[in-house]
Amino acid sequence: MSETEAYYRDKVAVVTGAASGIGLALAETMLSYGAKRVILVDINEANLTRETGRLNAVYSGQALGIRCDVTREEDVKLMIQQAAEFGDGHIDIFFNNAGSGFYGPFDEQTNVDWEKAFALNFYSAVYCIRAVLPVMRGQGNGHIVNIISGIALFPMPLQTLYSATKAALNGLTLALRYEYWDENIRVTSATPGTTATAIWGDKGAPPGSQSSEQSARTVLTGVAKNERLVLGDETDTKGARICFNPDSAETIDDHLLNVARKRRRGEGLF
């Protein structure tokens, strides 16, 4: 058994946005590593029922699906209560994975658009963290993982909503890491890397994108090591290294200006 597998063995884990993509891969991979129970949380009831049933066919009675709108704090509180009951009072690991990509020109976005983006990509994590903390404090330990995006480290033009919400989530995560360190509650930020999921919409994922399973394994390995910031692939690693480096400012300006011009012409994302 690897060190990564040992970290998840006999643990109770909750994953939001777990009915598809990276969230589903995180849940399934943890079960394959020997997790005691995994709770899948999603708003898509049909997908949730199907995937929970599929997992229970392999890992009998170890998966629970909970439909929840994570943008509603009262729904989140009820979900945490149900998850803890399924975990015999425990929630060892919590993945805030629910979220969406947002794309478009800044001057076409309304306050409603901004509120919707922050509700899903930021406040949902605030609600989940606030609700799960008493459980983790009661058991004396825990690990909260917030799935951000490489865009938090490398903000992109025509993705202001996505850039701002994920940067805010990363800031929250890294500040909380030290606030709860002495209570034996770990907090980690993780980027999934460029991954082929539905977040890309009709445009499709860029060539060379990794699978959800590859992303999940990378994230789970970094989380098991209690890394501060888990970087999902080399692109995210490069972005983290250079984007805010003063010595790279001219290069970054040239690159992102070219991206903005191409996107306005409809020539592609990168």
Q: What is the pLDDT along the chain (270 residues), one digit of tens a residue?
A: 899 999 999 999 999 999 999 999 999 999 999 999 999 999 999 999 999 999 999 999 999 999 999 999 999 999 999 999 999 999 999 999 999 888 899 999 999 999 999 999 999 999 999 999 999 999 999 999 999 999 999 999 999 999 999 999 999 999 999 999 999 999 999 999 877 666 655 666 566 677 889 999 999 999 999 999 999 999 999 999 999 999 999 999 999 999 999 989 887 665
CA 175 remoteness from chain centre: 17
CATH of 3-234, one of 3.90.1150.10, 3.40.50.720, 2.40.30.110, 3.40.190.100: 3.40.50.720
What are the distances in angstroms from CA 205 to CA 14, 26, 193, 194, 202? 27, 19, 12, 8, 9
Is residue 162 part of the annotated active site? The answer reads yes
Q: Is 10 exposed, middle or buried (0-12, 13-18, 19+ CB in 10 A)?
A: exposed
Q: Which of 66, 180, 84, 169 is nearest to 124 (CA)?
A: 169
- Quick one: which H or E segment has residue 185? strand 185-190
Number of H helices, E strands in the chain: 10, 7
Judge if pTM exceeds 0.85.
yes
Q: Which of 116, 112, 114 is nearest to 124 (CA)?
A: 116
Rounded to whole angstroms, how far apart are CA atoms 171 and 182? Answer: 19
Query: Pick the catalytic residue: 8, 162, 178, 180?
Result: 162
